[in-house]
């Protein structure tokens, strides 16, 4: 979640309970606000955008139930995050089928919207699920420890990312290396906003 919004992680303190507005890191939402680009998070409970102080206080984190009505009248902002409830997230022990059906319903709602002809949808998961992957994650950074040595920081195992919309290449599978910060890089490129850290500055955009 931190990489998808801030391209960095704080020192985590394993907060229990409500995380809304807890973290005061600069995020892509701040960059969009500074640029005057409209954004909104239709939030079903997963605290992706809502974890961050300025995003939470902006008034742009609204109930998921508002998405359908805004889409129907073509009032979705330029950048929109949809975050499901935990039961619709495909996270164990919730039903994968139920989560897939939730995602399909949201995309169908968008396809029926007058804004569909101008949309690009990125469906992405936050973790790889624990199943075997024959591709070893790449080393991307080295931490400095004692005597200048330290453990390697690797990407995690691969996760799916679906790109859906009228401009998407039908049936195309990309071989380019992407990560969660590629979503940030894509937004930064589209709306001409500066990167948050060196990670999104160097990322491949989608």
Q: Per residue in 55-71, pLDDT tens?
A: 999 999 999 999 999 99
The pLDDT, as a whole number, for residue 35 is 97
SS3 assignment, position 167: coil
Place of tokens 């290449």: 169
Over 90: is that where the pLDDT of 151 sits? no
Strand runs labelled E in the chain? 39-43, 61-63, 79-83, 121-124, 139-142, 152-154, 161-164
Band (13; pLDDT cuts 50, 70, 90): low
Task: Round the average pLDDT of the chain to a whole number and report it.
Answer: 90
Provide the greatest CA pair distance for the chain. 61
More reliable by pLDDT, 158 or 148: 158
Q: What is the DSSP string of 57-75?
A: HTT-EEETTHHHHHHHTT-
Give the mean pLDDT of 17-31. Answer: 93
Q: How far is the CA of 122 from the CAs of 21, 55, 80, 186, 192, in angstroms?
A: 25, 20, 10, 11, 19
Residues 154-201: pLDDT tens digits? 677 889 999 999 989 999 999 999 999 999 999 999 999 999 999 999
């Amino acid at each position: 979640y931190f990489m998808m919004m801030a391209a960095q992680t704080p020192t985590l303190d394993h907060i229990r309970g409500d995380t809304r507005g807890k973290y005061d890191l600069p995020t892509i939402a701040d960059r969009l606000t500074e640029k005057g680009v409209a954004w909104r998070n239709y939030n079903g409970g997963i605290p992706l955008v809502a974890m961050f102080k300025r995003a939470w206080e902006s008034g742009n984190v609204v109930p998921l139930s508002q998405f359908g009505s805004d889409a129907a009248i073509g009032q979705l902002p330029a950048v929109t995050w949809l975050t499901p409830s935990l039961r619709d997230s495909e996270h164990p022990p919730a039903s994968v089928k139920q989560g897939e059906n939730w995602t399909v319903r949201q995309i169908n709602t968008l396809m029926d919207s007058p804004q569909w002809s101008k949309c690009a949808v990125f469906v992405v998961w936050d973790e790889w699920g624990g199943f075997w992957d024959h591709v070893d994650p790449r080393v991307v950074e080295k931490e400095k420890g004692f005597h200048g040595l330290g453990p390697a920081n690797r990407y995690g195992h691969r996760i799916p990312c679906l790109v859906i919309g009228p401009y998407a290449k039908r049936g195309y599978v990309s071989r380019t290396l992407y990560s969660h910060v590629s979503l940030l890089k894509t937004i930064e490129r589209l709306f001409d906003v500066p990167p948050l850290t060196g990670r999104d500055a160097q990322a491949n955009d989608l």
